[in-house]
């Protein structure tokens, strides 16, 4: 059929799935400043998910952790609760330092460790489990000095392609912190953890 199909009064173009149980509506805004044309490419393709970020969350260490040595961070963790904070989506679930994801997707995970060290080499790690039990070291950051005391911030980050919310988990650890303090505070971010879902799992 040649010509133009018109749907007026902000009507919807509705297309059903194979068994007619669900549909997708194509709708224009209530006001359009000028006429627009959407031209499809001469190729087979799948429209990408353009809904934006659907999950973003942040946790922090609420109190100093003195001389943790080689250990997972398992306590004194809270979701950031400053008056200016808000998460997007369901957010992460934390249990004894093990974080699980609320939905599948490709996640950006960042660990910022604020530390005071006493003549010590220090390291922080991110480890990921894809089977719910065994953890693989995915990112490290280290600092320290053998002659002086000082403050430092270390950052490690990674992408995690979460394809299963039951098995994929992430945890954070310290290494060689036998004469150092991992700094935490319940009133503001010192040592903290960021989780952002960038898109669908790959």
Q: How far apart (Å, rounded) are the C-alpha atoms in residues 67 and 46?
A: 52
E strand map for the chain: 13-16, 23-26, 56-61, 65-66, 69-72, 77-79, 93-95, 98-100, 105-118, 121-129, 135-144, 149-162, 169-177, 180-182, 192-199
Say if residues 139 and 158 touch (Cβ distance below 8 Å). Answer: yes
Q: Chain-centre distance of CA 12, in angstroms?
A: 35
Residues with Cβ < 8 Å from 127, sequence gap 6 or more?
135, 136, 137, 138, 170, 171, 172, 173
pLDDT value at residue 145: 66
CA count, 13 A, side-chain hemisphere, 191: 27
Residues 129/200, Cβ–Cβ less than 8 Å:
no
Pairing of strands 169-177, 69-72: antiparallel
3-class SS letters over 74-118: CCCEEECCCCCCCCECCCCEEECCEEECCCCEEEEEEEEEEEEEE
Q: CB of 149 within 8 A of CB of 119?
A: yes
pLDDT tens digits in sequence order for the chain, 202 residues long: 567 888 888 888 899 999 999 998 888 888 888 988 888 888 887 776 666 899 999 999 999 999 999 999 999 999 999 999 999 999 999 999 999 999 999 999 999 999 887 767 788 999 999 999 999 999 999 887 666 677 888 999 999 999 999 999 999 999 988 888 999 999 999 999 999 999 999 9
Domain 56-199 has CATH 3.90.550.10: no
Q: What is the pLDDT of residue 161?
A: 98
Name the residue ranges covered by the structural domains of the chain: 56-199
The reply to whether the predicted model has a pTM over 0.85 is no
């Amino acid at each position: 059929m040649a010509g133009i199909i018109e749907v007026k009064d902000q009507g919807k173009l509705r297309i059903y799935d194979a068994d007619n149980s669900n549909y997708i509506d194509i709708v224009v805004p209530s006001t359009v400043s000028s006429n627009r044309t959407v031209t499809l490419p001469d190729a087979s393709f799948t429209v990408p998910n353009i809904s934006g970020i659907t999950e973003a969350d942040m946790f922090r260490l609420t109190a100093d952790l003195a001389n943790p040595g080689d250990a997972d961070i398992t306590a004194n963790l809270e979701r950031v609760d400053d008056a200016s904070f808000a998460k997007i989506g369901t957010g992460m679930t934390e249990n004894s330092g093990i974080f699980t994801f609320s939905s599948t997707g490709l996640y950006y995970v960042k660990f910022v460790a604020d530390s005071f060290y006493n003549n010590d080499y220090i390291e922080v790690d991110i480890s990921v489990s894809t089977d719910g039990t065994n953890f693989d070291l995915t990112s490290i950051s280290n600092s320290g000095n053998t002659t002086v005391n000082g403050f430092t911030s270390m950052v490690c980050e990674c992408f995690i392609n979460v394809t299963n919310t039951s098995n994929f988990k992430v945890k954070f650890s310290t290494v060689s912190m036998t004469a150092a303090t991992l700094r935490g505070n319940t009133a503001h971010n010192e040592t903290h953890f960021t989780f952002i879902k960038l898109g669908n799992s790959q």
